[in-house]
C-alpha cells in the first residue's frame, strides 16, 4: 500500500461536521429573499432577508439584484436601477441590466460593463436568462417567433418550442416553462417534463435546484441527473419558516 | 287720520281670521266639518287621530285654549296654549282614543282663539277585537306570546318550510267582520290568499296558514296583520347539515421526507355552500424533538388550509385546489387532520397518517479526495434522532477492500448536540474527514453504513472524486 488510512475519522463542527442542509435561496411572492433549508421533499424557508428583483445561486454562493445594487458575497455594489438577469459561473457573475440593455461582469466585487457591441445583438429581444462560461456568454431571448438560445454575438444555439413562456439557462441544461409544464432539457437534447401550471419566473435557487414561481404554487425543480423531480416549496405563511 | 282709520279697520278684520280643521292621513288633508267619524276601534286598542288646525287668514292667530271632552279621548301631542299659528301655517293636534266597552263614543274638540273658537264632534265605535290563537302543525309555531303578540316559528333548516295554522276566533257576543288579513316580511307568506271580509259569528272561527320558508341561515322577522292588530312573526333558519366528509391521502406508504396530497370529499352532493379550514397537527414520537416545523401545508406554509365547497358538489377545494399538499417532515410521529367550519356536518371528519421510525434516509452523498484527506459528505435525515453510529469500508481503485476493513465511528454525541439545537427537524448534512498519509488517489470508493435505532442504512461504493 502506498498510503495509510487513519483509523480515526474526524467529524468537526466548524466548516465540516454536522450542519443544517442549506439548499439555496428563494424569492417569495412578495419579492423577499428567503433561505431554503432541508432535503428534497422537506423544505423549510427562513425569514425574509430583504427584497430583491432577481437572484441566482450556485455551489459557490448567491448573487441578488436589488433596486439599484447587487449583493454578492456580503458586498453591496451600486448598479443601474431596475431588474436584471444574473448568470453565475465559476469565476464570477455576468449581469444583464434590462433597463439599459447592457451586460456587465461582476468579479471580485467590481462591476465592469462589457463591450457595447454586445447589446446591439440583443436589442430586438427580451433577455430572459444568461449563461456565463468565460469568455462565452449565452442568452435565452424571447423574440416574436419564440425563445431562442444564442450567443451574445448573435449565433443561434437552440430554439425552444413556440409554447415556451420563459427559460432559465443552467451550466449544462435549460429549464423552460410552458402553460402547464416545466421542462428540463439536457445538453444532449433529452427532455424531462413535469406538471407545473402557470410558471412565470425561474431562478437558480441553488446547486441542482431551480425555483419556478407560478400563480398557484412555487415549485422547486431538482436538476441533479438521476434525481430530477419537482416539489412544492412552502409558501411564506408562518409555521414552515425557521 | 287716514292712518288711524286704516288701523281701526284692520283690527276687526284680523280678529276674524279663521282656523280651519282638517284630518290628516299621510300627506293628505281632508276638511273636517262639524263632526268627524273616526270609525271603529277594537276593544283594548288605542287609535290616534291626527287633526290639523290651519290658519287660512292673513294674520297670526293665538290659540288660548285647546280642550277635548269625552270619555276615552285625550290630546296626546300639541303645544300648551297659548300658542300662535302664523298666517298660512298650521298646528297638528293628535287625539288618542281607547275604549273597553262595546259602544259608541263621542267627544268635542274645541280650539279657542281671538275671542272665537272652532270645534268638532269626534265619533268612534268600539267593536270586539277578534281573538287570535295559533295551532302548530308539523314544524309549526308558538304564540302569540302575551307580551308582544309574537308568533314564533322557532328554528328550522334553511330550504325547508314550516306551516303555522292560525285560527281566528270571535269570542264576543256579536258578529265580527275581519276585513283584512296580510303577511309581510321576507320568508313569510300566506299559504293561500285569505278571502276577506270574513264574518265571524259569535263563537265562530276561521283558519288560515302562514308559511315560513327561509332560504339562508339567518334570523327572519315579519308581521301578520289582522284588521288593525299586528302580530310580529319570527323564525330562525339554520344551514342544512352536510354529510360527513371523508379525508383521504394519495396512494403511497407514509414516510418522512414526503410531500403528500390530502383530498376531502362528500359521499353525496352538498346541500349548501360551505367553507372552513382543514387543520393539521403533529405529534412527535421522538423524545428529542417534540415538534417538526416542516410539517405544514405547502399552499399556506402553515398548519391550516382553507376549504370550500359549492352547493351540489362532492369535491372540496383545499386552498383553491382539488387537493392540499403537505410535508411529512423528518420526524417520526403522527400527522392528524381535522376540520373547522361554521357549517354543520352530520359527523366529525378526521384522518391521520403515522410516520414510522426509519433508518437514516440519505438524500445525497459525495466522496472527495483531497491531499491528505478523504472527505465523505452525506445529506439526509434521521427521523428517530438517534443517529451517530457509522462505519466506513474503503476500497482501492481496483475495487479491493482496504485493510483493516470497516472503520467504525461513533458520532452519537455530536448528532445529539446538533439535534438538540433545534434546527427544524432531523435533516442534516454531515462531512466526515479521514486523514490519509500517502497517495490518497489510490482510494477509489467507500461503503458507508449509518445506524440509528431503526436499523442501518448503507451507501454502497461511493466513488471518490478529486
Which tens digit of pLDDT belongs to each residue from B13-48?
Answer: 334 448 889 999 877 889 998 899 998 887 777 888
What's residue B289's pLDDT?
92
Which tens digit of pLDDT belongs to each residue from A7-33?
Answer: 445 443 333 489 999 999 999 999 999
Is there a single domain that holds both residue B348 and residue B253?
Answer: yes
Mean pLDDT over residues A41-49, rounded?
Answer: 93
Q: Is B32 helix (H, G, I), strand (E, B) or coil?
A: coil
Number of alpha carbons in the 13 Å side-chain half-sphere of residue B322: 4
> Do the Cβ atoms of A3 and B327 come within 8 Å?
no
Which tens digit of pLDDT belongs to each residue from A195-238?
Answer: 999 999 999 999 999 999 998 899 999 999 999 999 999 998 65
Is there a single domain that holds both residue B382 and residue B407?
Answer: yes
> Do the Cβ atoms of B294 and A42 come within 8 Å?
yes
Q: Are B389 and B449 in contact, with CB atoms under 8 Å apart?
A: no
> Do the Cβ atoms of B302 and A237 come within 8 Å?
yes
Total residues found in chain A within this entry: 242
Higher pLDDT, B415 or B1: B415
> Do the Cβ atoms of B381 and A42 come within 8 Å?
yes
Query: Of B127, B155, B181, which residue is a domain's last?
Result: B127
Is there a single domain that holds both residue B183 and residue B222?
Answer: yes
- Residues of chain A contacting B428 with CB distance shorter than 8 Å: 18-21
Mean pLDDT over residues B110-134, rounded?
Answer: 80
Instruction: Find the CATH number of the domain harbouring B158.
Output: 2.60.40.10
Interface A–B counts its CB contacts (< 8 A) at 169
What's residue A16's pLDDT?
44
> Do the Cβ atoms of A232 and B298 come within 8 Å?
yes
> Do the Cβ atoms of B302 and A42 come within 8 Å?
no
Q: Is B8 helix (H, G, I), strand (E, B) or coil?
A: helix
Query: Of B355, B389, B409, which residue is a domain's last?
Result: B355
What's residue A239's pLDDT?
44
Q: Are B379 and A21 in contact, with CB atoms under 8 Å apart?
A: yes
Is there a single domain that holds both residue B171 and residue B92?
Answer: no
Domain range spanning residue B13? 2-127
Q: What is residue B10's DSSP assignment?
A: H
- Residues of chain B contacting A11 with CB distance shorter than 8 Å: 409, 411, 414, 430-433
Is there a single domain that holds both residue B27 and residue B139?
Answer: no
The ipTM assigned to this model is: 0.89
Q: Which of A37, A231, A236 sits opposite B424 (nearest CB)?
A: A37
Rounded Cα gap, residues A211 and A200, in angstroms: 11
Q: Are A21 and A37 in contact, with CB atoms under 8 Å apart?
A: yes
Mean pLDDT over residues B210-231, rounded?
Answer: 89
> Do the Cβ atoms of B427 and A42 come within 8 Å?
yes
Q: Does the pLDDT of residue B416 top 90, yes or no?
A: yes
What's residue A124's pLDDT?
65
Integer-rounded Cα radius of gyration of chain A: 19
Q: Closest approach of chain B CAs to the CA of A102, in angstroms? A: 38
> Do the Cβ atoms of B433 and A12 come within 8 Å?
yes
Higher pLDDT, B198 or B335: B335
Please report, rounded to a whole number, the percentage of residues in chain B having pLDDT higher than 90.
58
Rounded to 5°, the CA angle A196-A200-A206 comes to 80
Q: Which of B364, B411, B442 sits opposite A3 (nearest CB)?
A: B442
Q: Is A165 helix (H, G, I), strand (E, B) or coil?
A: coil
Which residues of chain A approach chain B closer than 8 Å at the C-beta?
A: 1-13, 16-22, 37-45, 216-217, 224, 227, 231-242
- For A13, the closest chain B residue by CA position comes to B414
Instruction: Find the CATH number of the domain harbouring B418.
Output: 2.60.40.2440
What's residue A120's pLDDT?
52
Instruction: Find the CATH number of the domain harbouring B319.
Output: 2.60.40.1930
- The domain total for chain B is 4
Q: Where are the beta strands (DSSP E) in B342-388?
A: 350-355, 361-370, 373-381
Is there a single domain that holds both residue B263 and residue B212?
Answer: no
- For A44, the closest chain B residue by CA position comes to B294
- Residues of chain A contacting B330 with CB distance shorter than 8 Å: 38-39, 42
Q: Is the pTM of this model over 0.90?
A: no
Which tens digit of pLDDT belongs to each residue from A148-172?
Answer: 999 888 888 999 999 999 999 999 9
- Residues of chain A contacting B363 with CB distance shorter than 8 Å: 21, 39-40
Can you read off the three cell numbers belonging to residue A29?
Answer: 411572492
Is there a single domain that holds both residue B120 and residue B137?
Answer: no
Query: Of B317, B337, B355, which residue is a domain's last?
Result: B355
What's residue A69's pLDDT?
94
Mutate to test the interface with B, among A42, A43, A235 (most CBs of B within 10 A): A42
Question: Mean pLDDT across chain B, nearest whole number?
Answer: 88
Is there a single domain that holds both residue B82 and residue B148?
Answer: no
Domains located in chain A, CATH noted: 22-232 (2.120.10.30)
- For A230, the closest chain B residue by CA position comes to B259
B290 Cβ neighbours under 8 A, 6+ residues apart: B284
- For A217, the closest chain B residue by CA position comes to B299
What's residue A205's pLDDT?
96
Q: Closest approach of chain A CAs to the CA of B379, in angstroms? A: 7
Is there a single domain that holds both residue B262 and residue B346?
Answer: yes
Is there a single domain that holds both residue B366 and residue B436?
Answer: yes
Rounded Cα gap, residues B59 and B70, in angstroms: 32
Sign of CA dihedral A144, A150, A152, A153: negative
Rounded Cα gap, residues A237 and B298, in angstroms: 9
| Confidence at B10, pLDDT banded by 50, 70, 90 | very low
Q: Closest approach of chain B CAs to the CA of A159, in angstroms? A: 33
Between β-strands B35-42 and B116-127, what pairing exists: parallel, antiparallel or unpaired? parallel
Is there a single domain that holds both residue B276 and residue B222?
Answer: no
Q: Closest approach of chain A CAs to the CA of B427, in angstroms? A: 6
Q: Closest approach of chain A CAs to the CA of B317, in angstroms? A: 13
What's residue B85's pLDDT?
93
Higher pLDDT, A15 or A69: A69
What does the DSSP assignment read for A54-110?
A: EEEEETTEEEEE-SSEEEETTEEEE--SS-EEEEE-SS-EEEEETTTTEEEEEETTE
Is there a single domain that holds both residue B6 and residue B92?
Answer: yes
Amino acid at each position: 500500500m502506498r498510503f495509510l488510512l487513519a483509523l480515526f475519522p474526524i467529524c468537526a463542527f466548524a466548516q465540516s461536521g454536522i450542519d443544517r442542509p442549506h439548499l439555496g435561496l428563494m424569492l417569495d411572492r412578495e419579492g423577499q429573499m428567503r433561505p431554503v433549508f432541508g432535503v428534497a421533499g422537506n423544505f423549510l424557508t427562513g425569514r425574509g432577508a430583504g427584497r430583491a428583483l432577481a437572484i441566482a445561486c450556485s455551489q459557490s454562493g448567491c448573487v441578488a439584484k436589488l433596486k439599484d445594487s447587487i449583493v454578492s458575497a456580503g458586498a453591496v455594489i451600486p448598479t443601474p436601477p431596475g431588474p436584471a438577469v444574473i448568470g453565475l459561473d465559476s469565476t464570477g457573475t455576468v449581469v444583464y441590466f434590462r433597463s439599459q440593455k447592457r451586460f456587465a461582469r461582476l468579479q471580485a466585487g467590481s462591476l465592469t460593463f462589457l463591450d457595447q457591441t454586445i447589446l446591439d445583438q440583443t436589442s430586438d429581444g427580451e433577455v430572459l436568462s444568461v449563461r456565463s462560461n468565460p469568455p462565452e456568454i449565452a442568452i435565452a431571448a424571447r423574440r416574436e417567433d419564440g425563445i431562442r438560445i444564442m450567443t451574445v454575438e448573435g449565433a443561434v444555439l437552440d430554439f425552444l418550442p413556440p409554447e415556451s413562456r420563459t427559460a432559465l439557462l443552467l451550466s449544462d441544461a435549460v429549464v423552460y416553462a410552458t402553460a402547464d409544464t416545466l421542462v428540463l432539457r439536457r445538453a444532449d437534447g433529452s427532455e424531462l417534463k413535469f406538471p407545473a401550471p402557470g410558471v412565470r419566473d425561474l431562478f437558480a435557487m441553488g446547486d441542482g435546484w431551480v425555483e419556478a414561481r407560478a400563480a398557484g404554487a412555487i415549485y422547486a425543480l431538482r436538476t441533479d441527473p438521476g434525481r430530477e423531480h419537482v416539489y412544492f416549496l412552502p409558501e411564506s405563511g408562518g409555521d414552515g419558516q425557521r | 287720520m287716514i292712518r288711524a282709520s286704516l288701523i281701526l279697520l284692520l283690527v276687526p278684520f284680523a280678529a276674524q281670521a279663521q282656523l280651519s280643521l282638517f284630518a290628516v292621513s299621510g300627506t293628505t288633508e281632508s276638511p273636517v266639518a262639524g263632526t268627524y267619524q273616526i270609525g271603529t276601534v277594537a276593544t283594548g286598542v288605542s287609535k290616534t287621530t291626527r287633526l290639523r288646525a290651519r290658519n287660512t287668514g292673513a294674520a297670526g292667530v293665538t290659540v288660548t285654549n285647546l280642550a277635548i271632552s269625552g270619555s276615552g279621548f285625550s290630546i296626546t301631542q300639541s303645544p300648551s296654549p297659548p300658542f300662535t299659528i302664523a298666517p298660512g301655517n298650521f298646528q297638528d293636534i293628535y287625539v288618542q282614543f281607547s275604549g273597553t266597552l262595546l259602544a259608541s263614543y263621542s267627544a268635542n274638540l274645541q280650539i279657542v282663539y281671538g275671542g272665537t273658537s272652532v270645534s268638532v264632534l269626534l265619533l268612534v265605535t268600539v267593536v270586539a277585537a277578534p281573538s287570535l290563537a295559533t295551532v302548530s302543525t308539523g314544524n309549526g309555531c308558538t304564540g302569540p306570546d302575551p307580551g308582544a303578540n309574537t308568533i314564533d316559528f322557532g328554528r328550522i333548516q334553511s330550504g325547508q318550510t314550516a306551516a303555522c295554522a292560525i285560527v281566528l276566533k270571535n269570542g264576543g257576543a256579536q258578529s265580527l267582520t275581519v276585513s283584512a288579513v296580510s303577511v309581510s316580511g321576507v320568508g313569510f307568506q300566506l299559504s293561500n290568499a285569505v278571502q276577506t271580509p270574513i264574518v265571524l259569528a259569535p263563537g265562530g272561527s276561521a283558519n288560515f296558514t302562514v308559511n315560513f320558508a327561509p332560504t339562508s341561515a339567518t334570523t327572519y322577522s315579519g308581521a301578520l296583520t289582522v284588521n288593525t292588530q299586528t302580530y310580529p312573526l319570527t323564525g330562525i333558519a339554520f344551514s342544512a347539515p352536510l354529510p360527513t366528509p371523508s379525508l383521504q391521502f394519495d396512494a403511497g406508504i407514509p414516510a418522512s421526507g414526503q410531500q403528500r396530497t390530502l383530498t376531502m370529499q362528500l359521499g353525496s352532493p352538498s346541500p349548501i355552500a360551505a367553507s372552513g379550514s382543514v387543520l393539521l397537527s403533529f405529534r412527535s414520537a421522538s423524545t428529542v424533538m417534540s415538534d417538526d416545523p416542516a410539517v405544514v401545508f405547502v399552499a399556506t406554509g402553515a398548519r391550516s388550509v382553507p376549504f370550500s365547497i359549492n352547493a351540489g358538489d362532492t369535491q372540496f377545494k383545499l386552498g383553491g385546489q382539488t387537493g392540499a399538499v403537505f410535508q411529512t417532515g423528518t420526524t417520526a410521529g403522527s400527522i392528524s387532520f381535522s376540520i373547522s367550519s361554521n357549517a354543520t356536518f352530520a359527523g366529525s371528519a378526521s384522518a391521520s397518517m403515522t410516520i414510522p421510525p426509519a433508518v437514516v434516509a440519505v438524500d445525497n452523498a459525495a466522496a472527495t479526495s483531497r491531499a491528505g484527506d478523504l472527505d465523505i459528505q452525506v445529506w439526509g435525515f434521521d427521523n428517530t434522532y438517534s443517529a451517530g453510529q457509522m462505519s466506513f469500508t474503503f476500497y482501492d481503485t481496483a475495487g479491493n477492500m482496504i485493510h483493516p476493513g470497516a472503520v467504525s465511528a461513533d458520532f452519537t454525541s455530536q448528532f445529539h448536540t446538533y439535534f438538540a439545537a433545534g434546527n427544524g427537524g432531523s435533516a442534516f448534512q454531515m462531512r466526515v474527514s479521514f486523514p490519509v498519509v500517502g497517495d490518497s488517489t489510490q482510494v477509489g470508493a467507500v461503503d458507508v453504513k449509518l445506524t440509528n435505532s431503526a436499523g442501518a442504512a448503507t451507501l454502497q461504493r461511493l466513488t471518490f472524486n478529486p
